[in-house]
Chains A and B, each alone.
Chain A
Amino acid sequence: MESVTEILIRSRDRDESARDALFSRLYDELARVARSQLGRRDGTLETAGLINETYIRVVDQGRVGWEDRSHFFAYAARAMRHVLVDRARRRTAQKRGGGQRAVTFTERAGLSEDEPESILELDEALEALSRTDPRLTQVVELRFFGGLTEEDAAQVLGVSARTVRRDWFKAKALLHEALTRANDE
């Protein structure tokens, strides 16, 4: 199988097939890592941890530059989004199918109701947002699904951290608008 590093290098030249391959490979990797959490009881459940772990594991850093790294994180954040949305969708289906509400035991918080719907709603709102402002959508993907800091997201997008902060702020406002509109319909 072609290594992620190879794909990453190949996708430098706007090679669409390479980018698709990158996305689907990252989807598989992340889905696998996210599947279960044994050995990760040290509190790093965050998506950022999963993505970084994957990066460290599958990318030969000696062969890639910072631009490839940016690519990686941009695609990984998107892949993470899809992994989570798919998981949320399956879980919602389970909830409906089983006729009872799934209840998740989270270690520290105790019993709480599982609300995978909020991820699905967010995904739809993001879809709507991407039609008018793809960059804001990407900021949300990087910050929320990718768990990147302002600085890291700025590096991936090639803008200033300030711009990321402003976009993040605006994106939240627009998401709220989209979510409200969806609920009104």
Chain B
Amino acid sequence: MSDVFPTGPDPLDDILDRLLDLPQEDRHQLLDRELPAGSEGRARIEALLKASEAGGAALDRAEQAVRQILAHPESEDSSDLPPTIGGFEILRRLGSGGMGTVYLARRRGDGLDRDVALKVVGRTGEEPARERFRAEQRILSRLEHPNVARLYEAGIDEHGAPYFVMEYVDGLTIDDYADQEGLTLEERVRLVRQLADALAYAHRNLIVHRDVKPSNILVTADGIVKLLDFGVAKLLEAEPDRDHPPLTRPGAPLLTPEYASPEQIRGEPVTTAADVYATGVLLYELLTGVRPYEFTSRSPVHIEAVISGTEPRRPSAAVTGAGARAAEARRSVPSKLARSLSGDLDWVLLKALRKEPEARYGSIQELSEDLDRYLRGQPVLARRPTPWYRTRRFVGRNRGPVAAVGLIIASLTLGLAGTRWQADRATREAEQASRVKELVVGLFEGVAPDVAQGRQVTALELLEQGQRTLLTGLEDEPEVRTELLNILGGVYTSLGEYTRAEPLLDSALAVAEALGDETLLLSALAAMADLRYATGEYEEGEALARRRLDLQRRVDPDPSTALAAAMTDVATFLSSTARYEEAEGLFLEALELDRALGAADKEGQDWNSLSILRARRSDYDGAIEAGRSAVAAHRRHAPGDNTGIATALATLAWALDGKGEFGSADSVYQEALAIRRRILGDSHPHTAILLNNLGSMRQKEGRLSEARTLHEEALALRRGIFGNDHQDVAASLNNLAIVDYYEQNYSGAEVAFREALRIFRLNLAADHPNVLTGTNNLAAVLREQGKLNDAEALFRATLDDRMRVLGPNHHDTGGAYNNLGGVLRLQGRPGEAATAHRQAIEIFETNLTADHPDLANSRLSLARALLDLDRPTEALPVLELTCPTYTTRFGPGHSSAAGCQAAIGLALAGAGRDAEARRILEVAVPILEEEQAGQEWTLRGREALNRMSR
């Protein structure tokens, strides 16, 4: 070895250092660069790396052995036991720890055969003052509470060591108990409430525990929490000693630094607030499986610096690092656990863990009551009074919809079926699927068991089998073969398997063209257009749809439902690219045709398409009217439950939801859902769409936890049907992320938005509206996290793409301008921001109703940018136009209205109209201070008021 590795300075040390700085996987790159293969140095380094790794493995084995040795006490020679202590017979050692040794003991000769735990404290400390010791222990021995292990007596043995005689509790430490029993979050919270009862009782008796930690809290087999070692810390305490803080005080009882409050660590006076803090740490650990702080070293200085100088990780964020095992022990999975923690439990824990004792809960009772509120689903008091939370609760009291002032982020509803909007698609798919199924099942009746090999055969496997066999067997029947290709391709499209669909449909189209069979060509064109629509290739799709319409007119110019269907296909593409007028004309033309032909079901579908088109351009009244006509037409066609009625109801609900009539929308959603469940079963993609849309409505209503449940249900359904990489799955992830966003769990939202975007990009054209929505939403969450430059870049990219795909007049293009403007203002670029907002306003004014929240939003943002530019007289008319919208929508006392009013006040003040400004600000600012304390416009309003009163 010595030739490979001389001791002392080594010319290879430098490269070794650089190598060790790198993660394992990057090391070879550096080696290749610095030491050519075959060189002497290279061989030495390689040999070293290998040997060192092997040496590391040997150390790992030794470490395992060390752990076992430390975990396993040496067998005890009973002659080691003291026979008696303080008149108690010592039966056996229960264990030893930092604070001393605990024995199982029994009083000799008192006739009471009661086992007790007797703890002798190590003799390293100074002997406590006997008088005080006795006085204190008399107080402690009077403590009696079901959750407190009683202290029977305490004394000082013949060697001068203090001992404590306590109730013997047979149980597990609280953390082990919770894990072994696999308790859920709620059950863990209930355990900690028992602990809180014990502490509250002691605090009423003016006793602080000071050493709350898992090893001091046992849970009996009946689930009763018993707090041990009450008052021990206090009894052992020497006189207060400011020169030697507890962590470093010689001879002081050892406190467990992980659970010690900052004031304990610093040796400052300890109050009941220290127990509140330690309970917070304990609850944190029980809920997340990790501690609030991470210590990279166990040196006292480091621990003190971390506890008093850093903020704890948010529990919901910490739990993702805790991994699957911690989640499993709580009968959950990490993502779900994080979501359950985020929000109320996050707030409760962070309040309990505040550094300043006075900022924590005022008492352990208050903490316990807040936990009780959590368990009963009521808002917790710890919740930081952010505008959004207040808004949510405001909305929760059913006082109407609230739009956040600021960014427009979009949930993805209805249009996400992965199929066209027309309901006949649903029927067609069902027909196609059942035809294929009949064929395939018929052909494979004998073969299926082999194929399946005992598993459930998936639709996809069946299709693949069908494809292979059917198509090879039909070489001499091109017409049948082409039709089958078309059907198979159509089914793949509806399953979201676009890459499988494409070659089949390509070949169907080619054969149909070669054969010159017009009927085949019509269906091939329709199927291919469907695929292009699904993947967002609108230009190609529209060309195909137009070809189909031309061909249809040539083949059969007479009025027919086929002609109407061809028209609606073209109209659908027009509508997707925001050419609404043209689209509406074509839909109406198709509608007239179908009506004249007496095809009520087709007429219903046309009304349905019209309704969706109108809702998209925010003409909600028109959409609702069309939706009602669709329902009526379908009822005329067939009175009982059918998919047509279900779809029309879903669309009507969507339109009502869009208008903000959540109450009516709700009952219509429920009706549609009931019908779909009856006809299609619980696990059909269309049921998932309804759950999804309903979930997004709940989110708009501010009923976030219901929204989450619905989206999770839809997500599970979709994953079950489509697998993990389907765009409907991405839509659900996006919608769940929006719930996170409004719960201000931005990091969680970011992860989910990114995953949704990844899936959209996998399936769709780079500029598909869903990709753009995903990008927009991701940018919004980046902005909330203060990553302004990244957000700006993404908003700009979204804007460019929307301009190109949707055109300069689309509502979503306006949304992109608005969002870009919002970021620019935050970056201190109010001039550019104003320009962007003006663009947005222009688009919104042509597309939206005068009181649409997006329009109001953008006007208010423009006015704020103008105020930043010190152009109050320009801001004023904009605000006077906008503010009434908020007042009408939310009422004058609402913070959104007050925010707008405050801007008016600032504009007036800027224009020198102080008297008017004061009148307005004096009303608006207090509302804002109540609802949006510390926010930019609240502070600016207050400053202006102060300035004017000087």
In the complex the two chains form, is A119's CB within 8 Å of B5's CB? no
Interface positions, chain B 61-97, Cβ under 8 Å from A, are 61-75, 93-97
- Inter-subunit contact B300/A61 (CB<8 Å): yes
Inter-chain CA distance A112–B56, complex, in Å, is: 21
- B97 / chain A contacts, CB cutoff of 8 Å: 36-40
Q: Is B297 an interface residue (CB 8 A)?
A: yes
Q: Per-residue 0/1 for B9-32: is the Cβ within 8 Å of any A Cβ (1 yes, 0 no)?
A: 000010011001000000000000
A119 touches which of B62, B71, B75 (Cβ 8 Å): B62
B1-59 residues at the A interface, CB under 8 angstroms: 1, 5, 7, 13, 16-17, 20, 48, 51-56, 58-59
Inter-subunit contact B250/A114 (CB<8 Å): no
**Least distance between A126 CB and chain B CB atoms (Å):** 10
B176 at the interface (CB under 8 A from A): yes
Residues of B within 8 A of A149 (CB): 296-297
Tell me whether A116 and B69 are in contact (CB under 8 A): yes
Residues 678-727 (chain B) with a chain A CB within 8 angstroms: none
- Residues from chain A with a CB closer than 8 A to the CB of B62 are 118-119, 121-122, 144
| B78 smallest CB distance to A (angstroms) | 15
- With A56-B300, A173-B48 known to touch, is A104 a contact of B72 (CB < 8 Å)? yes
Which residues of B are found within 8 Å of A166, using beta-carbon distances?
Answer: 13, 16-17, 20
Dominant secondary structure of chain A at its interface with chain B = helix
Pick the residue among B73, B176, B250 that contacts A41 (CB under 8 A): B176
Q: Mark A98-118, 1 if CB is under 8 A from B, else 0.
A: 000000111100001011111
Are A37 and B17 neighbours in the complex by a CB distance under 8 Å? no
Please give, as numbers and ranges, the residues of chain A lying within 8 Å of B52 by CB-CB distance.
Answer: 169-170, 172-173, 176
The residue that A176 contacts in the complex, of B51, B173, B214, B248, with Cβ under 8 A, is B51
A57-B244 in contact given A45-B67, A176-B54 (Cβ < 8 Å)? no
The residues of B that contact A91 with a CB separation of less than 8 Å are 69
Contact partner, B69, options A49, A88, A148, A152, Cβ 8 Å: A88
Flag if B299 contacts A152 (CB, 8 Å): yes
Interface residues in A51-82 (C-beta closer than 8 Å to B): 52-53, 55-62
Closest to A69 in B: B299
Contacts of B298 in A (CB 8 A): 48-49, 52, 147
Tell me, in angstroms, the Cα distance from A151 to B296 when the chains sit together. 10
Closest Cβ of chain A to B6, distance in Å, is 11
Interface residues of A in 16-36 (CB under 8 A from B): 32-36
For the complex, what is the distance from the CA of A182 to the CA of B56, rounded to whole Å?
17
Q: With A35-B73, A87-B74 given, is the CB distance from A56 to B95 under 8 Å?
A: no
- Chain A residues 109 to 153 lying within 8 A of chain B, measured CB to CB, are 112, 114-119, 121-122, 132-133, 144, 147-149, 151-152
Of the candidates A41, A56, A59, A174, which one forms a contact with B215 in the assembled complex, judged by CB atoms under 8 Å apart? Answer: A41
- Bound Cα distance from A170 to B70, whole angstroms: 28
Counting chain A residues whose Cβ lies within 8 A of the other chain, the interface size class is: 35 or more
Task: Please state if A38 and B74 are interface contacts (CB–CB under 8 Å).
Answer: no
- Report how far A84 CA is from B20 CA in the complex, Å: 30
Complex contact B124–A57 (CB within 8 A): yes
List residues of chain A with CB within 8 A of the CB of B72: 104-106, 114
Residues of chain A lying within 8 A (CB to CB) of residue B116: none
Smallest CB separation, B754 vs chain A (Å): 33
Total interface residues on B, CB under 8 Å, equals 62
Q: Are A52 and B299 in contact (CB under 8 A)?
A: yes
Q: Does B515 contact A (CB under 8 A)?
A: no
CB distance from A27 to the nearest CB of B (A): 15
The chain B residue sitting closest to A106, CB to CB, is B71
Total A-B Cβ pairs within 8 A: 188
B687 to chain A, nearest CB (A): 43
Any B CB within 8 A of the CB of A2: no
Question: A179 contacts the other chain (Cβ, under 8 Å)?
Answer: yes
Of A32, A47, A107, A115, which contacts B71 at CB under 8 A?
A: A107
Say whether A56 contacts B214, CB under 8 Å.
Answer: no
Q: Is A90 an interface residue (CB 8 A)?
A: yes
Contacts of B244 in A (CB 8 A): 60-62
B66 close to A58 (CB less than 8 A): no
Contact with A along B620-649 (1 / 0, CB 8 A): 000000000000000000000000000000
Tell whether, in the assembled complex, residue A60 and residue B250 are in contact, meaning their CB atoms are under 8 Å apart.
yes
A165 at the interface (CB under 8 A from B): yes
Q: Is there an interface contact between B69 and A87, defined as CB atoms closer than 8 Å?
A: yes
If the complex has contacts A38-B97, A41-B214, A132-B7, are A56 and B13 also in contact, measured as CB distance less than 8 A? no
Return chain A residues, CB-CB under 8 Å to B58.
Answer: 118, 121-122, 175-176, 179
Residues on B with beta carbons closer than 8 Å to the beta carbon of A53: 98, 254
Chain B residues numbered 256-289 whose CB sits less than 8 Å from any CB in chain A:
256, 258
Please state if A114 and B65 are interface contacts (CB–CB under 8 Å): yes
The answer, yes or no, to whether B99 is at the interface (CB within 8 Å) is yes
Q: Which residues of A contact B64 (CB under 8 A)?
A: 112, 115, 118
Which residues of B have CB within 8 Å of A162?
A: 17, 20
Q: Provide the residues of chain B in CB contact with A119, threshold 8 Å.
A: 62, 65-66, 69
- Residues of the B chain whose Cβ atoms lie less than 8 Å from the Cβ of A37: 70-71, 73, 95-97
B67 to A, closest residue via Cβ: A45
**Closest residue to A160 on the B side, CB-wise?**
B17
In the complex the two chains form, is B69's CB within 8 Å of A58's CB?
no
Interface membership of A171, Cβ < 8 A: yes
Q: Report if B326 contacts A (CB, 8 A).
A: no
B260 to chain A, nearest CB (A): 12
| Interface residue A177 (Cβ < 8 Å from any Cβ of B) | yes
B7 touches A173 (CB 8 A): no
With both chains docked as a complex, state the minimum distance between the C-beta of A94 and any C-beta of chain B, in angstroms: 8
B95 touches A38 (CB 8 A): yes
With A35-B96, A173-B51 as contacts: A42 and B65 at CB distance below 8 Å:
no
Chain A residues lying within 8 Å of B248, measured Cβ to Cβ, are: 56, 61-62
Kindly state the separation between the CA atoms of A169 and B124 in the bound complex, as whole angstroms. Answer: 39
In the docked arrangement, what's the CA distance between A15 and B763, Å? 76
Let me know if B477 is at the binding interface, CB within 8 A.
no
Q: Nearest Cβ distance between residue B394 and chain A, in whole angstroms?
A: 43
Q: Chain A residues near B7 (CB, 8 Å)?
A: 132-133
Asked whether, in the complex, the Cβ of A118 is within 8 Å of the Cβ of B13, the reply is no
CB-defined contacts of A59 to chain B, threshold 8 Å: 250
Complex contact A118–B65 (CB within 8 A): yes
CA distance A39 to B120 in the complex (A): 13
Q: How many angstroms from the CA of A50 to the CA of B254 in the assembled complex?
A: 12
Closest Cβ–Cβ distance, residue B470 to chain A (whole Å):
54
Distance in angstroms between the alpha carbons of A174 and B56 in the assembled complex? 11
Give B63's nearest chain A residue, CB to CB: A144
> B205: shortest Cβ distance to chain A, in Å?
25
- The answer, yes or no, to whether B243 is at the interface (CB within 8 Å) is yes
- A174 and B69 contact, CB distance less than 8 A: no
Measured CA separation A161–B258 after assembly (Å):
26
A41 to B213, CA, bound (A): 10
A10 to B637, CA, bound (A): 103
Inter-chain CA distance A152–B296, complex, in Å, is 10
Residues of B within 8 A of A3 (CB): 250
Decide if A165 touches B20 in the complex (CB within 8 Å): yes
Given contacts A42-B258, A132-B7, A169-B52, contact A116 B65 (CB under 8 A): yes
Contact between A88 and B247, CB atoms less than 8 A apart? no
> Which residues of the other chain, A, contact B13 by a CB distance below 8 angstroms?
166
- Considering the chains assembled together, what is the distance between the CA atoms of A132 and B173 in angstroms? 48
Interface centre among B7, B20, B66, B175 (most CB of A within 10 A): B66
Contacts A41-B173, A58-B250, A62-B243; is A176 near B55 (CB within 8 Å)? yes
Q: What's the Cα separation between A3 and B125 when bound, in Å? A: 11
Q: 19 A-B Cβ contacts within 8 A?
A: A38-B102, A41-B215, A45-B70, A49-B298, A52-B299, A55-B300, A57-B251, A62-B244, A88-B65, A119-B69, A162-B20, A166-B16, A172-B52, A173-B51, A174-B55, A176-B52, A176-B54, A176-B58, A177-B55
Further 5 A-B residue pairs, CB within 8 A, beyond A106-B68, A174-B55: A38-B101, A39-B95, A42-B213, A104-B68, A173-B51
B residues engaging A (CB < 8 A)?
1, 5, 7, 13, 16-17, 20, 48, 51-56, 58-59, 61-75, 93-99, 101-102, 122, 124, 173, 175-176, 213-215, 243-244, 247-248, 250-251, 254, 256, 258, 296-300
CB-CB nearest 3 A-B residue pairs: A38-B95, A39-B97, A172-B55
